[in-house]
Homo-oligomer: A and B are copies of this chain.
Amino acid sequence: MAKIIPGKNSTKKDVITRKASALFRKKGFTATSMRDIAEVIGVEAPSLYNHIESKYEILKDICFRIARLFTSHLREVELSNESFLSKIERIIRFHISMMIEEFEVVYISDHEWKHLPESFLTDFKNQRRNYRSRLAALLQKGIDNNEINPINPYVAVLTILSAIGGIESWHRSGKKIDSESLEENMVHILIEGLKSQPLTMMHTRRENSLTSGNVIKSKIIKLPVGKTGSKK
């Protein structure tokens, strides 16, 4: 009869959540059974119910804890006194650090939230939408202030957040680079992609619409796509 032995400053529920996180990340929430979780802990499945209410509760706890963490960091940055570009950089770095250090839970909150029960789903999606709106608002202010290129802030948010989410594959495939370089390189790409270029730097791609808040819709190279693979 094995026992759940919690470390310092952590309840038995924490142990379950941590072990479950690793499985949810690796196999997905639905493909992970309570028996799977119990096994890695070294206990029988029904024993888990002495500490948790349901499988969904584990997922719910993870998702909302992470959401709370990001939201409160965002509030802090919003209130700080610094350039908008620097606010954005701080947020990017926070996301990267979280993705590096709290990989599994952040990944779950990013990819497994869709399995939340309906009651929590709506709440979570609202929080997510709200977070992205506020991030977009910061970007818009940076654009108005000529710190950031007049790109569409919605697209910028989407690009930033999902780029960072890709750190998952860094964890999965052998960490071919140290975490500091990873952070610096990714920050570099994203910030350079956002930053407004000095006026002397104007180049062909921006011959018009500098004031619109959207980059120009230039000609698009349409490529044959899909299984019916026709050339249009």
Docked-complex contact A216 and B165, CB < 8 angstroms: no
Binds B, one of A38-46, A47-55, A116-124, A181-189: A181-189
Number of copies of this protein chain within its complex:
2
Docked-complex contact B184 and A170, CB < 8 angstroms: no
Docked-complex contact B198 and A28, CB < 8 angstroms: no
Docked-complex contact B114 and A225, CB < 8 angstroms: no
Docked complex Cα distance between A9 and B149 (Å): 45
Given known contacts A177-B154, A226-B101, A163 and B159 CB-to-CB distance under 8 angstroms: yes
Given known contacts A158-B166, A158-B167, A221 and B90 CB-to-CB distance under 8 angstroms: yes
Q: Residues 163-194 of chain A: 1 if any B CB is under 8 Å from the residue's CB, otherwise 0? A: 11111111001001110111111101111111
A5 interfacial contact with B, CB 8 Å? no
A93 interfacial contact with B, CB 8 Å? yes
Docked-complex contact A155 and B185, CB < 8 angstroms: yes
> Shortest Cβ distance from A145 into chain B, in angstroms?
18
Report which A residues bind B (CB closer than 8 A).
9, 26-28, 30-31, 65, 73, 90, 93-94, 97-98, 101-102, 111, 114-115, 129, 149, 151-152, 154-156, 158-170, 173, 176-178, 180-186, 188-195, 197-198, 200-201, 205, 214-218, 220-223, 225-228
Show 15 A/B contacts (Cβ-Cβ < 8 Å), sorted by A: A27-B114, A28-B30, A93-B220, A93-B223, A94-B225, A98-B225, A98-B226, A151-B189, A152-B185, A162-B165, A180-B220, A181-B215, A185-B214, A189-B190, A190-B193
Sample of 13 more A-B contacts, CB < 8 Å, known A158-B167, A163-B166: A97-B222, A97-B225, A151-B189, A155-B181, A155-B182, A159-B190, A160-B163, A162-B162, A162-B164, A162-B165, A181-B214, A189-B194, A200-B200
